[in-house]
Amino acid sequence: MRAADSAGRPIPSSVLSLGAQPLVSATAHAAPAHGSHEEHHHYTTTGLDSRKIAVWAFIGSECMLFASLISTYLIYKGRSIVGPFPHTSWTHPQTGQVFKPILNIPVTSASTFVLLMSSLAMVLALSAVENKDKPLPAGAGLGDRMLASSKLWLWATCLLGAGFLAFQAYEFTSFVHEGLTIKTNLFGSTFFTLTGFHGAHVTAGVIWLGTLLAIDYQRGLGPKDALNVDIAALYWHFVDVVWIAIFTLLYLIPD
Amino acid sequence: MAHDSQAEHYHPSWKEYKWVALILTIITIVEVWAYYIPSFVASAAFVPALLIMSAVKFAIVVMFYMHLKYDHKLFRALFTGPLIIATATLLALLAVMSAL
């Protein structure tokens, strides 16, 4: 007789072959939570999907990475010998050239708003995927149809993410034109390293969302894909929360 | 466990998401607005105020958009554990390097 979980669904042999009785019991008890795709379900002793545990562990490790980069920035903050400086003007002692404060707060505020709105679009994309099988209510208007469109919200998230990257490219380019490169001073080194790493993460997120969008066009994303979209969403929101910290610590708090 | 399974799958509604986005936007506007008040920037309250607003935004995104408020406690531990260690390390480094 084949083993089954509490909902009567068969437990994969890969789980049973692990041997320990408590493990089988725990898994069998927790298995019903994730639909009817037993063959693709990644069982763990906690009853939680291993992919979601992995992404949270990954996000935890990313906290460490960004904390180290932010620490480095804060330790060297205000210790640059030559300008340009982030919040104050600087006059070159030999040439007499005056460098204005380099940070452009209005532009960065706009890019921060764009990234925050991309997180809103992302949660709506996930919600649309999870509810794809549910019929729209009678008399559903344009708003309801928009909320149900995973493609619309994935596109919105991708474009807002790309918009944030465009802001960053503009900022980096203008900094270089104004005389600040990664080699200029301690501020330049730590600023470009930290924001560059964050930008690389946003780029990876946009590519990831692009692949989800391609799958949505290819075969349609539905509730069975909700976990995959959820994992991408968690990564995307993490990139957003890192920027929340960077925006305050780098841009708004003066030396 | 049944309770956990239900909790894992609760996500806020569109209306809640809309309010979260509005609150995040308002806090961001207040942060930037505060930056342009020289007397406030020069005061001792400026940095703590910004840090608190930033922490509130951080927590709101993590709780509602990353739905950690409704998620399994293991996920909470996997995030808050490293976050606490990272924050403690950051503070320790700043103290050691006399940047605090």
What 8-state DSSP symbol labels residue A240? Answer: H
CB contact under 8 A, B28 and A59: no
- Determine contact, residues A243/A205, Cβ cutoff 8 Å: no
- Determine contact, residues B51/B44, Cβ cutoff 8 Å: no
CB contact under 8 A, B61 and A237: yes
Residues A82 and A198 occupy one common structural domain: yes
A147 close to B (CB below 8 A) = yes
The pLDDT of A117-136, averaged and rounded, is 89
CB contact under 8 A, A74 and B78: no
Please give the Cα distance from A221 to A214 (Å, whole number). 10
Give the pLDDT confidence score for residue A12 in this predicted structure: 47
Give the pLDDT confidence score for residue B9 in this predicted structure: 58
Query: Which residues of A are less than 8 Å from B85 in CB distance?
Result: 64
Residues A131 and A230 occupy one common structural domain: yes
- Determine contact, residues A182/A147, Cβ cutoff 8 Å: no
Find the distance separating the first CA and the last CA of chain B, reported in whole Å.
45
Listed by start position, the domains of chain B span: 2-72
Residues A163 and A173 occupy one common structural domain: yes
Give the pLDDT confidence score for residue A107 in this predicted structure: 95
Q: Residue A247: helix, strand or coil by DSSP?
A: helix
Q: Please say if the pLDDT value at position A133 is more than 80.
A: no
Residues A93 and A147 occupy one common structural domain: yes
A202 token code pair: 């946003």
Report the domain count for chain A: 2
What ipTM goes with this model?
0.88
Give the pLDDT confidence score for residue A4 in this predicted structure: 44
CB contact under 8 A, A53 and B32: no
Q: Please say if the pLDDT value at position B10 is more than 70.
A: no
Cβ atoms within 10 Å, residue A9 = 16
pLDDT in tens, A7-49: 444 444 444 443 333 333 333 334 444 444 444 566 677 778 8
CB contact under 8 A, A116 and B90: no
Residue A12, domain extent: 1-48
Residues A34 and A60 occupy one common structural domain: no
Average pLDDT, whole number, for chain A?
A: 83
Interface test with B, best of A44, A63, A150 (most B CBs within 10 A): A63
Nearest Cβ partner for B31 among A47, A63, A248: A248
Cβ atoms within 10 Å, residue B26 = 10
Rounded to the nearest 10°, the torsion over CA A117, A121, A123, A126 is: -160
A248 close to B (CB below 8 A) = yes
Residues A56 and A43 occupy one common structural domain: no
CB contact under 8 A, A112 and B85: no
Residues A42 and A113 occupy one common structural domain: no
Query: Which residues of B are less than 8 Å from A240 in CB distance?
Result: 61, 65
For chains A and B, CB pairs below 8 A equal 133
Which burial class, exposed, middle or buried, applies to A147 when counting CB atoms under 10 A from its CB (0-12, 13-18, 19+)? middle
A240 close to B (CB below 8 A) = yes
Nearest Cβ partner for B78 among A60, A113, A247: A60
Give the pLDDT confidence score for residue A222 in this predicted structure: 87
pTM assigned to the model:
0.83
Residues A122 and A222 occupy one common structural domain: yes
Residues A128 and A105 occupy one common structural domain: yes
Q: Please say if the pLDDT value at position B84 is more than 90.
A: yes
Please give the Cα distance from A211 to A218 (Å, whole number). 10
A187 close to B (CB below 8 A) = no
CB contact under 8 A, A59 and B78: yes
Q: What is the DSSP string of chain B?
A: -HHHHHHHT----HHHHHHHHHHHHHHHHHHHHHHT-HHHHHSTTHHHHHHHHHHHHHHHIIIIIS-TTTS-HHHHHHHHHHHHHHHHHHHHHHHHTT--
Please give the Cα distance from A253 to B39 (Å, whole number). 14
The pLDDT of B52-76, averaged and rounded, is 92
Q: Please say if the pLDDT value at position A165 is more than 90.
A: yes
Q: Please say if the pLDDT value at position B65 is more than 80.
A: yes
Residues A190 and A174 occupy one common structural domain: yes
Q: What is the DSSP string of A109-159?
A: HHHHHHHHHHHHHHHHHHHHHHTTTSPPPTT--HHHHHHT-HHHHHHHHHH
Kindly indicate the confidence band of residue A254, based on its pLDDT and cuts at 50, 70 and 90.
confident
Give the pLDDT confidence score for residue B99 in this predicted structure: 60
Average pLDDT, whole number, for chain B?
A: 86
A225 close to B (CB below 8 A) = no
pLDDT in tens, A203-236: 999 999 999 999 999 998 989 999 999 999 999 9
The pLDDT of A116-133, averaged and rounded, is 91
CB contact under 8 A, A241 and B58: yes
Residues A133 and A12 occupy one common structural domain: no
CB contact under 8 A, A244 and B31: no
